Structure 1
Amino acid sequence: MVKPTYRKMLYGAALLALIWIGWQVAQRLVILHPSRQVSVNPKDFGVPYAEEWLDAPAGGGTRAGRVHVWWLPADKPKAPAVLYLHGNESTLSTDIGLMLSLRRAGFAVMAIDYRGYGESALRLPSETSVYTDARLAWTRFLELTPQASKRLLYGHSMGSAVAIDLAGHAPRLDGLVVDGAFTSAADVGLAWTADWLPLPKLLRQKFLSKEKIEDLKMPQLFIHCTDDEVIPVELGQRLYGLSAGPKQQLLIEGGDHDHCYQAAPERWRHALRHMAGLA
């Protein structure tokens, strides 16, 4: 028979375990904020595209499942190509405007919804799973772009952290573009709350771009709007300062987080075409 004292200890341990599990799940829901928004596709804008599916393995607490791919080929097979990685609370549909702008700038474009997003497998994503999905996408991206003159990565918001991680492992990568980037998930949280909170120790979904960017030696372009209401521009500038590779910064006055590319479209287009050797 279990004594009352031991029973209380077991109940207490079980309660603490539940709180810890709840905290881990809450982090993933808040930081990765998966979205199932599905609406428009390139065909609705008269742009030819193909859909594909990649099989991603389990890992990081996320079950195996399919990753949804859009492939928007350029008119010429030797055109530069870009793999686009969206942020949290976003999907292929929500970011279609940026993808179409990339294509109008002269790029072939591939983009994915990580597991948990859009029409990809209904899973609870994690930092590990989005990294895995991006690496799978890069492998397929290389297969789709055998003649591309340049191959770039473009990551927006959380996708910037995914792109920075991928850039450290991606063969045949010619350039990295980050838009609305940040130093770490904890730093974003501290900017939104109080700088005395122990978030760096509490968060397991870390997205530590500030510890990875210095090792990257490919050309880099950092884009940020000064009125970004989600990621303070100071975090983007801090990350830019940590980069030791060949780099450029495109600071755009005004704008916002999700549509910075629209705040100064000609400057944005010129910077990207310059990186791709088109300007």
Structure 2
Amino acid sequence: MATGSARLLLKGFASAGLALTLLLQTGCSSVFFYPDKVTYITPDRLNLEYDDVLLDTTDGEKLHGWWLPADAAESDPKGTVYFLHGNAQNISSHLMNVAWLPEKGYNVFLIDYRGYGRSTGAPDIEGTLHDSEAGLRWLMEQSQTNDRPIYLLGQSLGGALGIALASEWVQRQEKPPLEGVILDGTFSGFRSIAQEKLGSFWLTWPFQIPLSRTITDDYEGVDHISRISPVPVMVIHSVRDGIIPFHHGEALYEAANEPKQFLPTDTPHAATFVIPAYKEAVLGFMEGSPE
């Protein structure tokens, strides 16, 4: 009879085998998306004014977002930040990353991709790219953004989506233009990070190349980030990021064209804005002053 430890080990092998079977059958694009429907916190709990936003995509999904106006104490908002969140949970769990901006004079708009939070559908790479553009187009139509700078802030997965979106927006000369793009803890490409993660686990190591090839390489950030120029880009990455290694941020910065800034940080993944100095660096970037 197997011991308790042996049973746990066998169970682990079985689970890993099932995961590998699913990856071989379906490809591994699903590893990028871990949505849920839980409401962790709402803006009012943080004493923030907000409006619920529902917008329709051209392929029939309905997306939910929050509009956070700049603090009423600010007579004239400095601009608007469009926030694209990471791959897990939903906007309510990522809210703290931007909750500090209204007090600094910035409107904030954040959306959930399809399948996340109150948004309909199921996520995939093409769909979430579509959603990120739908959110930006909604934002550009709002009177509150007229004649005010608009910045894109993408964190982790949101940064990868943001690179694809911003590069196309700039190349198509869409109006109004983006004033800056901020990428926080972003991987250098969908296929490249998939291969790296698959190669780090013994069971999937032999399959890292064929499995990663099931993911499109049309949206590798290192291939597109240069096309955001002349819009300024700020790349933020932590030397202690245990999810997306530091070399991804270095690769994105190296591939970007001027004007660009690199902010090395020292926090866990997606925890940049717990440090006041990093907030100030981002404000300096948006307001056009050097770090």
The answer, yes or no, to whether TM exceeds 0.5 is yes
Is 1:127–1:207's contact at 8 Å kept on the other side of the alignment? no
Cα separation, partners in 2 of 1:148 and 1:228, compared to 1, 3 Å: farther
Q: Secondary structure at the match of 2:100?
A: helix
- Tell me which moved more, 27-36 or 240-249: 27-36
Q: Which residue pairs with 1:83 in the alignment? A: 82
| C-alpha distance in structure 2 between counterparts of 1:31 and 1:205, whole Å | 14
- Contact 1:112–1:137 (8 Å) recurs in 2: yes
TM superposition shift of 1:210: 1.4
Distance change >3 Å, CA 48–CA 100, structure 1 → 2: same
Give the residue type in structure 2 aligned to 1:137. G
1:223 aligns with 2:236: yes
Q: How far apart are the structure 2 equivalents of 1:179 and 1:38?
A: 24
Candidates 67, 70, 83, aligned match of 2:66? 70
Structure-1 residue corresponding to 2:112: 113
Report the Cα offset of residue 55 of structure 1: 0.6
Q: Per the alignment, do residues 20 and 231 of structure 1 end up closer, same or farther by CA in structure 2, a change over 3 Å counting?
A: closer
Residues 19, 109 of structure 1: CA spacing in aligned structure 2 closer, same or farther, 3 A cutoff? closer
* Partner Cα distance (1:252, 1:57) in 2: 39
Report SS of the residue matched to 2:92.
coil
Which whole-Å deviations, capped at 9, do the CAs of 1:208-237 have from their partners, x for residues lacking one? 111111211110111111111110011111
26, 39, 42: which is aligned to 1:23? 26
| Structure 1 residues 230 and 20: CA distance shift in structure 2, 3 A | closer
User: Whole-Å Cα distance in 1 between the matches of residues 288 and 46 of structure 2?
Assistant: 25
In 1, are the aligned partners of 2:195 and 2:212 still within 8 Å (CA)?
A: no
**CA positional deviation for 1:205:** 7.6
Over the matched positions of the two proteins, sequence identity in percent amounts to 25
Q: Which residue of 1 aligns with 2:198?
A: 193
Q: Does 1:135 align with 2:146?
A: no
Gap change, CA 1:200 and 1:71, over 3 Å in 2:
same
SS at match of 2:181: strand
- TM-score, structure 1 as length reference: 0.82
Counterpart-to-counterpart distance in 2, 1:57 and 1:276: 31
Helix, strand or coil at the partner of 2:281: helix
* SS of aligned partner of 2:99: helix
Partner of 1:47: 48
Contact 1:35 1:88 in 2 (8 A): no
Residue range with higher mean Cα deviation, 171-180 or 203-212: 203-212
Cα gap change, 1:225/1:148 in structure 2, threshold over 3 Å: closer, same or farther?
Answer: farther
Change in 2 beyond 3 A, CA 1:200/1:81:
same
Runs of 4+ in 1 over 6 A off after TM superposition: 18-21
Q: CA deviation at 1:200?
A: 4.2
Structure 1 portions without partners, runs of 5+: 1-17, 59-63
Task: Sort the Cα spacing of 1:160 and 1:20 in 2 relative to 1 into closer, same or farther, 3 A.
Answer: closer
The residue type equivalent to 1:115 in the other structure is R
Aligned equivalents of 1:132, 1:108: Cα separation in 2: 23
* Inter-CA distance 127–118: structure 2 relative to 1 (3 Å threshold): same
- Amino acid of the structure 1 residue aligned with 2:100: S
> Could you tell me how far 1:272 is from its partner in structure 2?
1.9
8 Å CA contact 1:28, 1:205 repeated in 2:
no
Q: Distance in 1 between matches of 2:93 and 2:48?
A: 16
Matched to 2:220, the amino acid is L
Written as runs of structure 1 = structure 2, the 5 A alignment for 1:230-269 is 230-253=243-266, 255-262=267-274, 264-266=275-277, 268-269=278-279
Tell me how far apart the structure 1 counterparts of residues 214 and 250 of structure 2 sit (CA, whole Å).
Answer: 25
Superposed displacement of residue 19, structure 1: 7.5
8 Å contact from structure 1 (residues 67, 114) kept in 2? yes
Give the whole-Å Cα distance in 2 for the aligned partners of 1:207 and 1:87: 16
1:273 aligns with 2:272: no
Q: Which runs of 5+ in 2 are unaligned?
A: 1-20, 200-204
